[in-house]
Amino acid sequence: MTKSLECDVLIVGGGPAGLSVASSLPKDIRSIIVHQDKEIGRPVRTSGGTWVRDMKALAIPEHLYQVIDQLDFYSDHAQACFEVNQDKMAVLDITALYQYLETLSQHANRELLLDTKFISAKKETDSLYSSQVRSRTKGDMVIRSKYIIDASGWHCAVLESLNLGKKPTRLGVGIEFEFPRKNFPKNRAILFVGATALTGYGWIFPTAYDTLRLGVGVINPDTDLSPRTVMKAFVDGGHAKRYGIEIPETYETNAGIIPSTPYEEKLVYGAVIRTGDSANFATPTVGEGIRLAIEYGRLLGQELGFYIQGDHKALSRYEAVCSKTFKRDYKFGFMMNQRIASYTPERWDKSVKRLSRLSEVEMTQMVRSNFSMGMIARTIWLSLRAKFKKSH
């Protein structure tokens, strides 16, 4: 017999977005989190780059991230180096962070189902959904809920199942090797572009637990190359030496996928709401989204609580706040993303040279996808000029 469970809110996805929703729901609201992996935070699917001020604002303990105050950009024949003093970067301990986020809702009326895959959902009545899930240990189950949160990442599993939306077809796909840091500075991060990472970029990030993350990401289908192929070429070509690192024979491998599409304002579909990567919150410039998943996941949990308690404008507020935060900058950031995905190594050299002339503040605004009107105007002009030259 298929086991049946009931709750107020079903949360599909136990990443930072889903866990943050659960942590900010009122204690009397019963929630169930369905998470497909056997353990929270493993396997690692993200590089963990973020910003110190955001971690402090979100009250993330300092031992969960490594502070970065030197950020260097490399193309094939150019480089731009920045001492970051005003808005320091950080590299997160992904597994420990996610497990910490999980503890924030342990006190609540919440159940966590690990190693359990969301299969489908259907609307039974105006106020009730039934979702089929499959546990490797408990078998098939049906979960009846009044609300469903799609925090399933790029899969958009809930929206697809209910024919409310489709998963994106343009994706940032990355692979990462993790190994002991050795002599690489623990406060320095590198982003590299050009022939070694066409359509995307590569990164070298030190962690708080003395490992180094070397990764590359590409945009599919802008290229038919897989990140594994790009990484193999990077390793076989001996490019690691340029950055002062040595790749050992054994290492951990992390891999992940994020959406790389324009921001969509609609997040609320009646009693079905999306957040995190399902809502395309990752920045279009470098695909950074953990801080946003936490912040706006918490906001959604809070506003959903208000909505359930009778504030019928609460979910509209969630949608409106997200739109105000993301719409303009993400529209421009995606335009930038599309443009640079077609860059040749030569154009990357010119771009990194221009980058070297930016101030620290301008550089961090660009990476964070927070764009001033001046920066937008300059970039649009460069884009139009490039199109004009190409057509003539």
Distance CA 48, CA 55 (A): 12
CA dihedral (379, 385, 386, 388) positive or negative? positive
Distance CA 365, CA 351 (A): 16
Report pLDDT for 380.
47
Alpha helices in the chain (DSSP H): 16-24, 52-57, 94-103, 157-161, 227-236, 290-308, 314-341, 345-355, 360-367, 373-391
Report pLDDT for 23.
97
- Asked whether the predicted pLDDT for residue 359 surpasses 50, the reply is yes
* pLDDT, average across residues 177-204: 93
Write the CB contacts of 167 (distance below 8 Å, at least 6 apart in sequence): 154, 155, 156, 157, 160
In this structure, what are the phi and psi dihedrals at residue 216, rounded to the nearest 5 degrees? -135, 145
Other Cβ atoms less than 10 A from the Cβ of 319: the count is 17
Q: Give the CA count within 13 Å in the CB-facing half-sphere of 240.
A: 19
Contact 218, 225 (CB under 8 A): yes
Other Cβ atoms less than 10 A from the Cβ of 209: the count is 11
Contact 318, 299 (CB under 8 A): yes
Domain map of the chain by residue range?
A: 3-42+96-167+265-327
Positions of E strands within 234-371: 252-259, 268-269, 272-274
Residues 3-42+96-167+265-327: name the CATH superfamily: FAD/NAD(P)-binding domain (3.50.50.60)
52-103: pLDDT as tens digits: 999 999 999 999 999 999 999 999 999 999 999 999 999 999 999 999 999 9
Write the CB contacts of 60 (distance below 8 Å, at least 6 apart in sequence): 97, 100, 294
Please give the mean pLDDT across all residues of the chain: 92
Report pLDDT for 387.
52
Rg (CA), the chain: 21
Write the CB contacts of 53 (distance below 8 Å, at least 6 apart in sequence): 87, 88
- Asked whether the predicted pLDDT for residue 389 surpasses 60, the reply is no
Contact 369, 281 (CB under 8 A): no
* pLDDT, average across residues 132-148: 95
Structure tokens at 56: 């402090």
- Asked whether the predicted pLDDT for residue 378 surpasses 70, the reply is no
Structure tokens at 313: 């404008």
- Asked whether the predicted pLDDT for residue 331 surpasses 90, the reply is no
Structure tokens at 338: 């599309």
Q: Establish whether the linkage from the previous residue to 221 is cis, with ω within 30° of 0.
A: yes
Structure tokens at 31: 């929630």
Report pLDDT for 374.
55
Identify which of 109, 61, 64 has the alpha carbon closest to the alpha carbon of residue 91.
64
Report pLDDT for 329.
83
Distances (CA, A) of 69 to 61, 185, 360: 18, 11, 11
Q: Give the CA count within 13 Å in the CB-facing half-sphere of 205.
A: 25
* pLDDT, average across residues 302-307: 98
315 CA to centre of own chain: 22
157 CA to centre of own chain: 17
Which is higher by pLDDT, 53 or 339? 53
Sorting pLDDT into bands at 50, 70 and 90, what band is 274?
Answer: very high
Identify which of 223, 179, 233 has the alpha carbon closest to the alpha carbon of residue 205.
179
Residues facing residue 177 across a β-bridge = 214, 253
In this structure, what are the phi and psi dihedrals at residue 314, rounded to the nearest 5 degrees? -65, -45
